[in-house]
């Protein structure tokens, strides 16, 4: 079976209908398990106190904000090269979720940063690149709404995805590119000195899994809605012509 079979709207709807309840159930279980474990069954940090527990929301949201844009880039490239409508609609469906994840990362980062840095906002390389990424999400969504022809909108938003990917990469690696700035290094790292302690690590991994599954749930629901909306628009156009 070829993976391209799932680019067929009918095949996608059938498969997603079967998978959606399972993905939703796993998302709820992972999120509840990870957040309850992290907030109520881990100790306070010796430096940051209880504020460290915002890591269970901030880090997964920040990771998803970047990776959702990467997913949009891949699906947009599939549309530009192979003209599969499901891939374009999946990118469109993912954008609002990515925008919300970026907003959550910025908001929780401000709450975490205020007691640690003494300020709600700093023009730090990673913070600034995340703000620009948030604006790209808004621009992507606005471009879809501004163009009536869906194929033209998919083409132009695909190009926008290519440009915005620069800032998605900067958001991920800004701390490595520049030494200045208040933001610490990666919380998840192969370097034992940088990586969080195991007591925080395991519930954090569960929260990340929950956020990934939550994204899959939302993008499946929204893509199915976009496909139905496209079918409805086609039927209405056919009736007007008749």
> pLDDT class for 114, splitting at 50, 70, 90?
confident
Tokens of 145: 């709404």
- Counting residues of the chain whose pLDDT is more than 90, the rounded percentage is 54
Tokens of 85: 């409508």
Residue 86 reports pLDDT greater than 80: yes
* Range scoring the smallest mean pLDDT among 35-39, 47-51, 235-239: 47-51
> pLDDT class for 2, splitting at 50, 70, 90?
low
* Range scoring the smallest mean pLDDT among 27-31, 72-76, 231-235: 231-235
3-state secondary structure of 185: coil
The mean pLDDT value of the chain amounts to 85
Query: What are the φ/ψ torsions at residue 192 (nearest 5 degrees)?
Result: -60, -30
Amino acid 61: pLDDT: 96
For the entire predicted model, the pTM comes to 0.88
pLDDT tens digits, 143-171: 999 998 989 999 999 999 988 887 777 66
Amino acid 190: pLDDT: 41
Residue 182 reports pLDDT greater than 80: no
Mean pLDDT of 186-197: 54
How far apart CA 94 and CA 146 sit, in angstroms, is: 18
Helices (H), the chain: 9-40, 55-82, 85-117, 125-146, 150-177, 198-241
Greater pLDDT, 178 or 109: 109
Sign of the C-alpha dihedral computed for residues 138, 143, 146 and 151 taken in this order:
negative
């Amino acid at each position: 079976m070829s993976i391209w079979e799932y680019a067929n709207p009918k095949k996608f709807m059938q498969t997603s209908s079967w998978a959606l309840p399972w993905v939703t159930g796993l998302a709820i279980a992972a999120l509840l398990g990870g957040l309850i474990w992290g907030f109520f069954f881990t100790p306070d940090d010796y430096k940051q106190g209880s504020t460290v527990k915002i890591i269970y929301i901030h880090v997964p949201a920040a990771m998803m904000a970047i990776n959702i844009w990467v997913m949009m880039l891949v699906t947009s490239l599939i549309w530009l090269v192979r003209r599969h409508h499901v891939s374009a609609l999946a990118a469109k469906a993912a954008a609002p979720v990515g925008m919300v994840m970026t907003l959550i990362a910025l908001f929780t980062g401000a709450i975490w940063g205020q007691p640690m840095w003494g300020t709600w906002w700093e023009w730090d390389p990673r913070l600034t690149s995340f703000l620009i990424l948030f604006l790209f999400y808004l621009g992507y969504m606005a471009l879809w709404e501004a163009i009536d022809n869906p194929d033209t909108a998919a083409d132009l938003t695909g190009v926008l995805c290519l440009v915005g990917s620069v800032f998605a990469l900067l958001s991920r690696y800004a701390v490595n590119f520049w030494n200045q700035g208040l933001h610490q290094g990666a919380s998840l790292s192969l370097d034992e000195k940088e990586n969080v302690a195991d007591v925080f690590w395991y519930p954090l991994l569960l929260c990340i899994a929950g956020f990934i599954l939550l994204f899959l749930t939302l993008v499946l629901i929204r893509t199915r809605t976009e496909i139905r909306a496209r079918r409805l628009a086609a039927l209405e156009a056919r009736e007007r012509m008749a």
